[in-house]
Structures are given as structure tokens and as C-alpha cells.
Structure 1
Amino acid sequence: MAGGHRNVMFANYPDVVCVDQLCTMLGGIGKKTAYDLLKTGEIRCLKIGKSFKIPKVCVIEYLVGRNENISP
């Protein structure tokens, strides 16, 4: 993925998203899957109290990293 695309990827989302937004960003995954990704550290996040705060850049890093492992 070219660096220029990272600047516009998820442009309509805030810089820090919640779990519901993460689910939408990842194509409508379920909350259980989203929490598993956060708890295992596959997507970096901050836990404040009982809520997870996910920097948008961490979601993009996760997706870009996933694309590097996919064969054409």
C-alpha cells in the first residue's frame, strides 16, 4: 500500500476510535473478535477504566501489516 493512501484511509473517523467503530472499520467484524484482537495485542490500544481506546493509526498499521503477509 502506498504511503499516500495512509493519509486518506479512514479519513471520516476520529484519531481515536472505540470498539464499535473498530468493528465497522474492519468490515463489520463482531465485538468478540474485536476484543480478542485488542486483548492479544494484535491491534495496539489504550485501556482506560473498562473501555478500550484505539488510535486510528494502530488500526491502519494492523491492516498494512496483514497485507504484507498476503500472497498475490
Structure 2
Amino acid sequence: MLSISVPSVFKTPSRKEFSTNFLASTGFNFSNEIIIYYDNSNLITIDELYEILIIGKNTAYSLLKSEAIKSFKINHIWKIPRVSIDEYIMKQVKK
């Protein structure tokens, strides 16, 4: 029987490691101006929202339904302005 050890380079990152790496790769910082992403589109989808905030789908839907993050629907599909995410993060940081 052949036994192969997998180097740690190929190991799957933990959720915390992934979150930290994700934030670093998006340019997240807590300066006066928060820059989370380097994308020129003004609207994002629900899937992008929960990836950006590193939250679950249910939490993302709750934030939209409670109007904590300003958004709207087009043909039953949530559209979220990127500015709304920045505003939400700034409110949370100031708490």
C-alpha cells in the first residue's frame, strides 16, 4: 500500500483563515474611507453580499428585509447598491 502525505500548502484553509485572506484581498480597512472591493459595477447580488460581509445567506436576507442595508428587487432578484454596504459597515463600526 502506498502512503502519500499532502504538504500543508495544499491544505484547505479554515473559515477564519479564509475570512482573513478574503478581507486582505479585497482591500478592507478601517480608515475614514472604506474600500472593500475593486470592482466598477454599482450593484451586487445577494450572493456577493454574503461573500463580502462573510455572513450566511439567511443573515443576508434578514439584513435586506429589515432594511438595514438599502436595496431593491428587479423581477424578484435582490439588487444592492455598493454604497449601501459601505453605509451599513460605517454604522456598525460607529456603534
| Structure 1 stretches lacking a partner, 5+ long | none
The sequence identity of aligned pairs, in percent, is 32
TM-score, structure 1 length as denominator?
Answer: 0.80
Match of 2:81 among 47, 55, 59: 55
- By relative contact order (CA 8 Å, sep 6+), the higher-ranking structure is 1
Instruction: Give the 5 Å matches for 1:4-43.
Output: 5-6=33-34, 8-12=35-39, 14-27=41-54, 29-43=55-69
Amino acid at match of 2:36: M
Alignment length, in residue pairs?
65
Higher-Rg structure is 2
Structure 2 unaligned spans of 5+? 1-30
Which 4+ residue blocks in structure 1 deviate beyond 6 angstroms? none
